[in-house]
A and B are shown apart, each in its own frame.
Chain A
């Protein structure tokens, strides 16, 4: 096994994932292209040193399909020897892409590459790639499929999280994100997105609502109660017979925001660093993916955290900071309870509830965010993890060098 190092990370700011969002006019491939250009520019990189670019995406169809990574490689003017690959692990795609490059480098079959993710949610439709798990009756019935928002509400129901609990978490995410932006904590990684004539269209995470309070969140309507009425409630009770009624606590305000964005991570072995004249920022200690019960869908972070720790030969106490994607407030609350992780050590700069969750991009973005934070705080280790559709989880542990 070769050691795998992180040499750089950049991300776009996140634009509201709607037609009035600042990134709506920018195609997904362009978001990745601008980041690849930034990586090359920041490091003065000879792109011929790279073996592969892997881009994760949760809706890899239409303009996000057809191995977007290879199109972006060529579009960014990288050496045509750099291959491209698309990976799809739902919301874990961006981190899985990083892990994929790490695996190639660790095995010695590649020297360096870029892993990342992209999602232009304003330009695609959530569920665009549908798939057998939700639509094929034979599969959906056997899978006990329910939409993941119901899974999030089910977590709250089983764990006893009230509406106030989840709203309080959401308000804190907003507060932390506001503070992080006020103190320019993301500055090292943010690459403003430019339009056709080279003007900046977005330089900050515009989805945020600073000043959000538990009270203001309390006015929002539950987002997933209607779906339970469509018959999904019955499916849940087949799997979770202890539940009489699902408590629908999640709203648009305590769930991750719909946004556009991209993030990439430059990885390589030590030899690559020497050849490129780059200093590694961190080492990939371990990475992992796993599955868990699929109807509740969003509880795998606990299991994948243990798996990543085991792969690294580490214990929980050796992790300085945690970054768990805020898909829904209950996901993080449950993780903190079951892993006994202090709220002060997790998602310290806010998360997707405040800044948005560009599905396939998020994993690569938050890996970089927590790396920046380790450096800012002078800490050493961090775990990044995400809950993933259809009952999966993906994680990676990094350690500064």
Chain B
């Protein structure tokens, strides 16, 4: 056996050690399941074995399933095959808990997903008393449910309500919380978990779970005639709808698996759980979420787009020019990554104010007890606020984050380069200004690159790296090394007004004002966006980013040759709002009013300014307009070479501007609809609502060849 080892002692206790030969972590795989089946049969039939301890030879006990395998299975399997796949793992767990010998799980480290499902199938659980040894069932967050009996055992062990809380949030528990929640039976030091498990076995414990005792009924089994329990479910449904909307099928499936399963005998319940698992696994939503938010994200962070052959750079000193919100945030994440930061602004006081942001953020961590005070001092000591460009001497890299103005940026570039070492790279943090144009101010355009961080920098994980026309591959490699060092997710795009993320994000906010110009009731606009899965509606977004900002970008871009940063409809709305002095929340109110001490609400004057059309478009059309406008613009970006890979497009969409996770991103959305179907619907929308929806010739060509953006799985 390659992934497990069994050692039976003279005392009759067999220790089964999980130790995956191929991976650094124990994971659920077909091979492992086969070995477990064989091991369980062997332990069951070996008369010398009186009890079993399951532990791990790795630091962690066990993680969940191999997510790559899940993505592959998602498209390859029929529902029936997915059910069989789930039942196979379920049967192994069931065989373990019914083999007639007590099994104690000695979790020496974290146990998540499939790892914790294994623990739940044992008769006793000991967990290492180590803060890193968290346990939980996070499957809901990847669009799946905890199979192998996870939903059923947890609900019977700790009750439906407590189980649903864990299953629907997917949150993990610290050892102390796990003990309190009764999902583990005992805590012990990591090197004593096996001894503790043995001690329990020495008490000659029962090897029968309570649900296998004749006459067992879960307290909630008769739930439908207990009004409070039934009503509790009706509220749980609404909460799921509120949190997940109607686009994410995992939470409702978990709710149903528990609701239906708790009323059934255990084996029937396991079968129903597998059926819901099969539905989720074969639903494109799970595939979309896993592919983009796990597989593509990890690949990007490991340097999928990094040019090969360039030695890895490690940064020890960088300069940040401009101590405004962006510069202050970049200084913070760099200092946290152990890099010395020279933070420059027009005077030391202003620069110090930028450092103050770090003090504020880190201070909160201390207050919450998640960071020690001396650690904070160490980080803050790395940031030197100054107005003196001379201090940039010796910096390996500069990130410029001054005001979004070509002239100011050019002047800053020249001042910095005068001091910088010749091999330093110069990164400009801009959200829209063309890098090639900004690079004209540089003496070394090959070392000039765009790094578009998102606000607030310490919380937003994405960095959009923009290649200017003259940017050298070495510079890209170094910039990616920096992004990796500050633990962000990079995407790589080519130069154009607004690059990729700002260019497509504009379709979100511009669609909102286009609808308003069309006479759509404002609440319908905001609700349609939320209904499609966006966290915030476009009108609320515009109030936050200010309407002046997109107008300025539009005006700046207007004269450029081949300008792609345009607005088809809605400019009159933006201009009117600005003229009314309602250009933003900052201005005291925009599309919304912000009464003190009460929730914001849509400004009543909107109906007068932009009269509602008598005939309102269907809700589904409004939802589609948001999704299609952005997806189509992403396809345009790919056609023009602004983005080069589907993964970059989708990561940018999800992490850059909050495109709904259920889609897996803008291009994944096109694949989910099917490229031919997408083109058909986009044509319909173009006819009804404007040319921005019309697919490019490039996309039509792809559609005729059914060439989606991700490879079809091998059947």
Contacts and interface: CB of A to CB of B under 8 A. Distances in A.
A145 interface: yes
Interface stretch (B207-215, B232-240, B680-688, B696-704): B232-240
Given A61-B225, A130-B224, A238-B246, A141 B524 contact: no
B248 to A, nearest CB: 12
A138 B233 CA distance: 11
Given A141-B252, A243-B523, A238 B243 contact: no
A269 B218 CA distance: 53
B231 A135 contact: yes
Contacts of B616: 242
A146 B238 CA distance: 8
Interface string B236-255: 11111111011000001001
A234 B241 contact: yes
A219 interface: no
Contact of B238 (A127, A130, A231, A242): A231
Task: Pick from B225, B234, B239, B245 the residue with the most CB of A within 10 Å.
Answer: B234
Task: Pick from A125, A145, A234 the residue with the most CB of B within 10 Å.
Answer: A234
Contacts of B237: 137, 140-141, 145, 231
Nearest to A235: B241
B569 interface: no
A337 B461 CA distance: 54
Nearest to B616: A242
A128 B229 CA distance: 11
Interface residues of A, number: 29
Nearest to B237: A140
A137 B230 contact: no
Interface stretch (B66-74, B369-377, B449-457, B525-533): B525-533
Interface string A131-143: 1001111101100
Given A241-B527, A241-B528, A244-B601, A136 B233 contact: yes
B242 A137 contact: no
B662 to A, nearest CB: 15
A130 B227 contact: yes
B294 to A, nearest CB: 27
A215 B157 CA distance: 53
A1 interface: no
A138 B256 CA distance: 6
Given A130-B231, A241-B619, A244-B601, A232 B238 contact: yes
Interface of A: 61, 125, 127-128, 130-131, 134-138, 140-141, 145-147, 230-235, 237-238, 241-245
Given A231-B242, A243-B523, A244-B602, A238 B230 contact: no
Contacts of B599: 245
B622 interface: yes
B671 interface: no
Interface string B580-612: 000000000000000000010110000000000
Given A130-B227, A138-B252, A241-B619, 17 more contacts: A125-B227, A127-B231, A131-B224, A135-B224, A135-B234, A141-B241, A141-B246, A141-B252, A231-B235, A231-B238, A234-B241, A235-B238, A238-B527, A241-B527, A241-B531, A244-B526, A245-B601
Contacts of A237: 527, 530-531
A136 B259 contact: yes
Interface string B250-271: 0010011001100000000000
A234 B242 contact: yes
Interface residues of B, number: 39
B230 A130 contact: yes
Given A237-B530, A241-B528, A135 B230 contact: yes
Task: Pick from B227, B231, B522, B622 the residue with the most CB of A within 10 Å.
Answer: B227
29 contacts: A128-B227, A134-B231, A134-B233, A135-B224, A135-B230, A135-B233, A135-B234, A136-B233, A136-B256, A137-B236, A137-B237, A137-B252, A138-B252, A138-B256, A140-B237, A141-B237, A141-B241, A147-B234, A230-B239, A230-B242, A231-B241, A231-B243, A238-B246, A238-B527, A238-B531, A242-B527, A242-B616, A243-B523, A244-B526
A242 B243 CA distance: 20
Nearest to B522: A244
B521 interface: yes
A238 B238 CA distance: 12
A320 to B, nearest CB: 36
Contacts of B602: 244
Q: Which 7 A-B pairs have the closest CB atoms?
A: A231-B242, A130-B230, A231-B238, A241-B527, A135-B230, A137-B255, A244-B523
Contacts of A128: 227
A138 B255 CA distance: 8
A137 B240 contact: yes
A117 to B, nearest CB: 21
B151 to A, nearest CB: 12
Task: Pick from A130, A230, A234, A241 the residue with the most CB of B within 10 Å.
Answer: A241
A130 B234 CA distance: 9
A141 B242 CA distance: 11
Contacts of B241: 141, 231, 234-235, 238
B280 to A, nearest CB: 13
Given A130-B230, A242-B616, A230 B252 contact: no
Contact of B239 (A130, A147, A231, A238): A231
Nearest to A130: B230
Task: Pick from B237, B243, B528 the residue with the most CB of A within 10 Å.
Answer: B237
Contacts of A135: 223-224, 230-231, 233-234, 259
Contacts of B230: 127, 130-131, 134-135
A297 B406 CA distance: 59
Nearest to A240: B527
A230 B243 CA distance: 11
Contacts of B231: 127, 130, 134-135
Nearest to B243: A231
Interface in B403-451: none
A294 B235 CA distance: 17
A117 B188 CA distance: 63
A170 B302 CA distance: 68
Contacts of A134: 230-231, 233-234
Contacts of B601: 244-245
Nearest to B592: A244
A241 B622 contact: yes
A141 B259 CA distance: 13
Nearest to B239: A231
Nearest to B254: A137
